[in-house]
Amino acid sequence: MTNVKFPEDQGGTFGEWLVAQADGSGWINMLAKAARADRGFPRTGDADAVRKYLSGKQAEGDMFEALDDAESAWLRG
């Protein structure tokens, strides 16, 4: 199960929010763990910047699915 945190004030960027999701299990959390460990990850970017970054890294399809789920969660937050 994916554990997604929603801060009261979601004023940060999507990239920052995603990295903060590293605790827990599930696809979003796995993507967040990888993002947290990657110094080049676009923490100040939006979901499109993350997609572009993942494309450049030739990420697997599962990571793009996790990104889509994360973006949906971010927009609901």
Domains of the chain from N-terminus onward = 14-76 (1.10.150)
pLDDT in tens, 26-42: 999 999 999 999 999 99
DSSP letters, the chain, are -B-----SS--S-HHHHHHTT-SSBSHHHHHHHHHHH-TTS-TT--HHHHHHHHHHTT--HHHHHHHHHHHHHHHH-
Model pTM?
0.84
How many angstroms separate the CA atoms of 75 and 77, rounded?
A: 5
Chain centroid to Cα 15, Å, comes to: 6
pLDDT higher than 80, residue 2:
no
Mean pLDDT, rounded, of the chain: 89
Residue 73's identity, in one-letter code, is A
